[in-house]
Structure 1
Amino acid sequence: MAVDQLDTRILRLLLEQPRTSVREYARILGVARGTLQARLDRLERDGVITGTAPTLSPAALGHPVLAFVHIEVTQGHLADVGDDLAGVPEIIEAYSITGGGDLLARVAARDAGHLEDIVQQLNRLPGVVRTRTEVALRERVPHRVLPLVEAIGRAAAERR
């Protein structure tokens, strides 16, 4: 999907001021409310905007230990193991990957002992061959998309 400069400005506002009304966004951007709403609808329909839920902190919810678990899976069982991962509440997200392992799961735990329990639970899943766990020490770059949005906006402006 092509994102133009107005889309970039809209996305920036959504990221920087997520609780602002559509009317206020339109005023800030200097566009008609209908124009803004049409853009928002298109960005949602095209999958650029995927939700409006708040961002929650696992640490503030009592799960300050963040780990990345590489999971090696028996050939032919990737989908089944992936489905099983969805049943583990401490798994925040999981991806199929290339390289050292077949799946990579981001896990939030209360403490080291809880993390060990989660990893042992993963090791017991049918189709899991082995796991390798890496504990995050400190967040260096928080989850973000605004720099990417801005780079796409600049590229769109240069193409014009």
Structure 2
Amino acid sequence: MTTKDSHGLDAIDRNLLSQLAEDAEQSYAQLGEKVGLSAPAVHERVKRYKASGRISGVSAHLDPAMTGKEFLAFIHVDTSGWGKSDGIMQLADLPEVEEIHSVTGDTCMLLKVRMETPKAMEALLERIYKLPEVVSTKTYVALSTYLERPVQPGITAF
């Protein structure tokens, strides 16, 4: 009997999820070889992960250079009042906005954005400043990216 952690995962689950996060196109047989299960057992676990919402979808990782979106920036947005306003949340409809986070500290919201050019960034900032609740922004442009990955199932013990 394997022991499950507080999130209902055992060592095989974490290994299998790691393998899927690395390459979700592997066959169940390939995954089974890597985690020590049969292909049908892997299939059952993956079905359970999807049914429970542990895996919420599978997506392709696009190369920013190959899609013309090499300009990566993070925008701190300070607002009057609650940051998670309708206006801010409507920014999620823009393909340039990859992430929106409510944060603590000297700002309200943090946006991760990716686009083609600094001119496109200027247009996005103009759109943000048109929102009545926006007081100020601070933009940080990424010069290089050394690590960018999806959620990892591993847990580091401290």
> Which residue among 92, 113, 116 is the counterpart of 1:110?
116
Retained in 1: the 8 A contact 2:83–2:109? no
Aligned to 1:83: 89
Is 1:7 aligned to residue 2 of structure 2? no
Q: If the length of structure 2 is used for normalisation, what is the TM-score?
A: 0.81
Q: What is the CA–CA distance in structure 2 between the aligned matches of 1:14 and 1:145, rounded to whole Å?
A: 11
CA drift of 1:121 comes to 1.1
SS in structure 2 of the partner of residue 19 of structure 1: coil
Letter in 2 for 1:86: A
The answer to which of 68-77 and 88-97 deviates more is 68-77
The higher relative CO (CA closer than 8 Å, separation ≥ 6) is in 1
Is 1:139 aligned to residue 148 of structure 2? no
Distance change >3 Å, CA 151–CA 49, structure 1 → 2: same
Retained in 1: the 8 A contact 2:100–2:110? yes
Is 1:128 aligned to residue 129 of structure 2? no
SS in structure 1 of the partner of residue 69 of structure 2: coil
Distance change >3 Å, CA 29–CA 140, structure 1 → 2: closer
CA drift of 1:51 comes to 1.6
Retained in 1: the 8 A contact 2:21–2:150? no
Retained in 1: the 8 A contact 2:97–2:113? yes
The answer to which of 93-102 and 36-45 deviates more is 36-45
Aligned residues: 151
Q: What is the CA–CA distance in structure 2 between the aligned matches of 1:140 and 1:82, rounded to whole Å?
A: 29
> Which residue among 42, 49, 56 is the counterpart of 1:43?
49
Encode CA deviations 1:48-75: one digit per residue, 9 max, x unaligned. 3222111113332111111100111221
CA drift of 1:86 comes to 1.5
Aligned to 1:151: 155
Retained in 1: the 8 A contact 2:97–2:114? yes
Aligned to 2:101: 95
Q: What is the CA–CA distance in structure 1 between the aligned matches of 2:151 and 2:86, rounded to whole Å?
A: 31
Specify which structure has the higher proportion of helix. Answer: 1
CA drift of 1:119 comes to 0.9
Retained in 1: the 8 A contact 2:96–2:115? yes
The answer to which of 90-99 and 21-30 deviates more is 21-30
Is 1:20 aligned to residue 26 of structure 2? yes
Name stretches of at least 5 consecutive residues in structure 2 with no aligned partner: 1-6
Name stretches of at least 5 consecutive residues in structure 1 with no aligned partner: 156-160
Retained in 2: the 8 A contact 1:26–1:33? yes
